[in-house]
A = this chain, B = another copy of it.
Amino acid sequence: MAKESQERNQIALDYGPVQTAIDELTGTFGSRLSVSSDVRERFGKDESFHPSIPPDAVIAAHSTEEVSDIVRVCARHRVPVIPYGTGTSLEGHVAALHGGICINLLEMNDVLTVHAEDLDVVVQPGVTRKQLNHYLRDTGLFFPIDPGADASIGGMAACRASGTNAVRYGTMRENVLAMTVVLADGRVVRTSKRARKSAAGYDLTRLFVGSEGTLGVITEITLRLYGIPESITAAVCTFPDVDAAVDTVITTIQCGIPVARIELLDDVQIDAINRYSKTELEVAPTLLLEFHGSEQSAAEQAEMVQELALDNGGSNFQWTSNTEERNRLWQARHDAAYACKALQPGGTIWATDVCVPISRLAECIRETREDIEASKLIAPIVGHVGDGNFHLGLIVNHDDPEEQARAEALHERMVMRALAMDGTCTGEHGIGYGKLDFLIAEHGDAVSVMRSIKNALDPHHIMNPGKIVRH
């Protein structure tokens, strides 16, 4: 399906003379504009299996004004603009499907203002989440969203990232307070003031969060921050089957226990970790949990979940608030991605995700696992199960057309299964150009509303064209 979309999007469109734009921009940006094939190749590729589709030039921008200047030139010549952060996206978000100018935002990496009393911070888009938390280390505050990769805040906002502790702290949707955005005609707007809530007009902040660069370039972001919890307690527990683990999750959420992270690793994933990390973890569906709060409340949460886990046949429940021990308990989770990669050195990992209402999660995972087995493919499962979100790390040799076809069919069935359960085709990876058809399967006529918005704000489709919405 991904391939098909790609082809459809490679139909030539009414774009203008990119070389004229490049010549004009070279005058302004000098050596910060690169047309070298190495650089272009690198900036046309994200972390997914999608191939590099290089832009015609890459420019490192240093300010909102510079981004605006670049977009104005591109708008005048009808040349595509592709924003680039760390390239850690997973659905080909940065591929230059129609050529054009890639704006490298990674050098716009200043933390501009920390408002400690307001629990917010203003950053440039190239600041990465680790850089931000390092910067904040002496303030007692932290930014919780953790999609795994050390992604840029701009990219995380553009892709509506979430990750392990969204169950407690929400996703980028809930944690971006305001943004500065360069529109398709080069105008600069701010989506919102810095108040915690507002009922003033359409929610432009939420419109740009998750727009994947297709409506504008995000050049400044105001984020919510949180006090570092007094105590962080980690726990781990194994279960006889995935259903028992998921039932524990459902009850935990329903009891209102404010768990900070709750991750499921299936037995295939645990087995992969044992092989990779030379550990001897019990090969069984495993929940890893983290609790934030006062020492008392974090401990209380852990005890309550332990009880729920035991009721569901869980065993080997361990918990600790000691930092070193905590890291040991969670090591398996940190090794999951590497362990996947090590499973079949020749193959690539096709990382994909869906998200379903939690009541359907056990069923969705069970059927998907049966399908993986029937498809004779290897695909460990890791899930942010508190949100109903899970990932496949599908190991595929993309050079083997038959295996590729089997993987695509499995993938399609997984997405359609999630949709049939009132779930979404992606909980956190986004659409890029890899899931265009699934977006239509999910939203139906509502995609036409998205298209109307795209056409209104970017009438010539110069902003990251071919992503989310087709021409």
Contact = CB atoms under 8 A, between A and B. Distances in A.
A190 interface: yes
Interface in A384-404: 387-389
A427 B254 contact: no
A119 B252 CA distance: 12
Contacts of A51: none
B196 A431 contact: no
B422 A195 contact: yes
A16 interface: no
B202 A211 contact: yes
Contacts of A229: 256
Nearest to A253: B119
B210 A202 contact: yes
Contacts of A450: 201-202, 204
Interface residues of A, number: 96
Interface in A45-69: none
A136 to B, nearest CB: 13
A3 interface: no
Interface in A350-407: 355-359, 387-389
Contacts of A296: 296-297, 300
Contact of A449 (B166, B183, B197, B419): B183
A426 interface: yes
Contacts of A211: 202
Nearest to A206: B206
A455 B187 CA distance: 19
A36 interface: no
Interface stretch (A167-175, A309-317, A327-335): A167-175
A167 to B, nearest CB: 8
Contact of A200 (B162, B171, B254, B431): B431
A453 B195 contact: no
Contact of A193 (B189, B358, B422): B422
Contacts of A300: 294, 296-297
A118 B377 CA distance: 31
A356 B202 CA distance: 18
Give the copy number. Answer: 2
Interface in A160-209: 160-162, 166, 170-171, 173-174, 183, 187-204, 206-207, 209
Interface in A248-282: 250, 253-256, 258
A211 B202 CA distance: 6
Interface stretch (A6-14, A70-78, A435-443): A435-443
B356 A443 contact: no
B196 A160 contact: no
A295 to B, nearest CB: 10
Contacts of A468: 201-202
B197 A202 contact: no
Q: Which of A140, A170, A456, A468 has the most CB of B within 10 A?
A: A456
A229 B388 CA distance: 23
A346 interface: no
A199 B119 contact: no
B297 A355 contact: no
Contacts of A359: 115, 117-118
B166 A197 contact: yes
A19 interface: no
B199 A426 contact: yes
A17 to B, nearest CB: 27
A251 to B, nearest CB: 9
Given A161-B199, A194-B422, A204-B443, 17 more contacts: A118-B359, A189-B446, A189-B449, A190-B443, A190-B446, A194-B423, A195-B387, A197-B355, A199-B428, A200-B424, A201-B447, A202-B450, A203-B207, A207-B453, A293-B297, A452-B456, A455-B456
Interface of A: 115-120, 140, 159-162, 166, 170-171, 173-174, 183, 187-204, 206-207, 209-211, 215, 226-227, 229, 250, 253-256, 258, 292-294, 296-297, 300, 304, 355-359, 387-389, 418-419, 422-431, 435, 438-439, 442-450, 452-453, 455-457, 468-469
